[in-house]
Structure 1
Amino acid sequence: MKIIKNKFLADLAKNVEETKTEEQKIVEVLSNFDFEGNEFSESEKRFVQERERILIVECKKNRDSLFRICMTLQEMSDFFKNNKERKFMAWYQSAGFSKDLVSAYLKRADLYIDFPDKKDLISSLPNKAVKLLTNQLISKEKQSEVLSLGYTAIADIKSSLVLEEPKNLIDVPSKFRYFNPKSIDKIHKDVKKMSYKELMDTKKELEYQKKLISETIRELGILEKERENEGSPKLLEVGQ
């Protein structure tokens, strides 16, 4: 009985300490609004600060909830990828989720996974900002650089990403008919967990694919020139 009582008191003390720590965090982020300069009475100041506390606590709950939603959908996405007969889209649509919504959650999940120390910042980003940051042309280094600046406004993020554009940027198709860049993203994630043999097998497979693609591009170039010649108007002979 004494052991149970001591454990109860220890748990109670821990909860009290955690509550104090949480309260300290809230106090630290309360606004620095000039109450005195705006002639607020003490009761008015307390009223405002109490509401600030409510907003801070509820916003934190929202951020934590968003994080859990994103990571749960990421888990489900991985689960369905490992069960090819089952369709991820069919599942989430039956659960009431749209394709656009799930895509937005999964893009945010990618940022959570790559930058776990930026969880609160990532949670506060608008969906459009997440979409900008997770564009396939944006490197992980650039993502890290932008997130380290603490930007949440879309205009600030967009202006910082302009620098990412390479000098010889190729045109990105509006849709992909044969290959999807997400397959490359998956390779980047998978290689971190691969054994040496799996790495060698993957490298061999990609080198073979690269050879086939190079040959196909060469053939397309030949056909392109033939089509250009077919479509070119013939020059009129002198005297006509």
Structure 2
Amino acid sequence: MIRLLFVLPCLLLAVPLSAATLVFDENALPTNDPVNGFGSFTFDDFGGGAVTETATSLVFDVSDNNASNGVFGGVGVDYVVENPPGSMTFVPQHFDAATHQWELRVKLLPNNAAGALRAVFIDDDGAGTADEHQYEFNLLSVPNDGEFHVLTLPLSTPLFSQGAFGFTLGNGAVDPGLRQIQIQTPFGSTGRLNVEVDYLRITPSIPEPASLGGVLISMMILGQRRRS
């Protein structure tokens, strides 16, 4: 099972993400604590040991194990807390998608034949409505050199969006309320996915105004010192 690691404890509340980072990696196993104790989920070809935890990474070795939909499936985690005990309460994470991005640190392994890997999140729009936004990393751009490489994608421009499974279609906008993250293969893929993932994370892509202010102040002080 997999859990979601929060860098800042304040993310347990439905508050803006701000300058924090959401991380989905090996340190988040085997359950979703401290967010919850319900663990992760897999579906289709990602079950049956296709996802393995190492000391420093997650290893994916995914083939078409069920002879259906190609090499397709995923692994994911939900943002829930146990309140009251024994029940799940979803706690969507709110932030500005325009100032955040996906980062994937990945290494190709010898048996990889997959050309793409997807990051997916469910965007809760309230009252039983939600959208699913899908983003695609091009693995063909990753050197097959036995090293990790970092790929980025803007969060504001998904590959496509659709109604989330089990929900009524939301407003279609990328305006989280993020309530779930998944790693997926594209539907109908034919190539075996064999990669090692250090992390998939959502992180700010634009410095916060306070950070920019600090940089400007430092530059002004440096300029004054040079003139003195």
Q: TM-score, normalised by structure 2?
A: 0.26
Identify the structure with the greater strand proportion: 2
User: For the pair shown, which has the larger CA radius of gyration, 1 or 2?
Assistant: 1
- Determine which structure has greater relative contact order: mean sequence separation of CA pairs < 8 Å that are 6+ residues apart, divided by chain length: 2
The normalised TM-score by structure 1 is 0.25
